């Protein structure tokens, strides 16, 4: 299973690395800037995780800032790749910036990507915890129950 991550927060990166390193079946590509992401994006991927606010800049409200953000990367991705050319990956926008995440989701969904907004926190960590198991099952003879469950966890 190939996983692509665009994230600049070292604490989040370390948490993701900890979760994904539990399986030898996961190929993990982590990028911390849009420039790096464009250079290292080598599809297909099974899962793409994207943040909006990068480089210690945070944009709230109606600020439609795209340069250097996850939104710039999404624009580049949809301009260069159809979902089917990427093997129809699940895309999770994990940004805490709800306005920026909405713009990213709108662009992804308009271009037929299977995309969700799950703000970084316990829900996304629970979701990511499923990935090593799904990756392991995909490479064995055991049946896989489909894609990662992106529904809201019950409490």
| 151 in any annotated domain | no
Count up the domains in the chain and report the number: 1
> What does the alpha-carbon distance between residue 118 and residue 101 come to, in Å, rounded to a whole number?
9
CB 51 within 8 A of CB 111: no
> What does the alpha-carbon distance between residue 82 and residue 122 come to, in Å, rounded to a whole number?
31
Q: Band the pLDDT of 122: cuts 50, 70, 90.
A: low
| 101 in any annotated domain | yes
pLDDT digits (tens, 9 = 90+) for 55-106: 655 455 444 567 889 999 999 999 998 877 777 889 999 988 889 999 999 9
| 147 in any annotated domain | no
More confident residue, 129 or 116: 116
Residues contacting 74, CB < 8 A, separation 6+: 50, 104, 107, 108
Establish whether the linkage from the previous residue to 38 is cis, with ω within 30° of 0.
no
The encoded tokens of residue 17 equal 């690395």
- Give pTM, 2 decimals: 0.77
| 150 in any annotated domain | no
Looking at the DSSP bridge assignments, the partners of residue 2 are: 27
| 145 in any annotated domain | no
Domain holding 48: CATH number?
A: 3.40.50.2300
Q: Which domain holds residue 77?
A: 2-138
| 14 in any annotated domain | yes
| 43 in any annotated domain | yes
Measuring CA to CA, how many Å separate 4 from each of 1, 23, 39, 112, 148?
10, 15, 12, 18, 15
| 46 in any annotated domain | yes
């Amino acid at each position: 299973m190939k996983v692509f991550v665009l994230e600049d927060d070292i604490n989040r990166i370390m948490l993701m690395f900890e979760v994904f390193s539990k399986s030898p079946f996961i190929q993990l590509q982590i990028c911390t800037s849009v420039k790096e992401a464009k250079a290292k994006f080598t599809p297909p991927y099974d899962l793409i995780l994207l943040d909006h606010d990068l480089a210690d800049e945070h944009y709230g409200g109606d600020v439609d800032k795209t340069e250097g953000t996850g939104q710039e990367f999404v624009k580049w991705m949809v301009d260069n790749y159809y979902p089917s050319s990427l093997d129809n990956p699940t895309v999770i926008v994990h940004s805490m910036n709800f306005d920026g995440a909405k713009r990213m989701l709108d662009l992804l969904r308009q271009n037929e990507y299977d995309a969700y907004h799950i703000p970084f926190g316990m829900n996304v960590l629970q979701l990511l915890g499923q990935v090593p198991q799904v990756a392991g099952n995909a490479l064995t003879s055991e049946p896989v129950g489909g894609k990662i469950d992106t529904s809201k966890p019950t409490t």
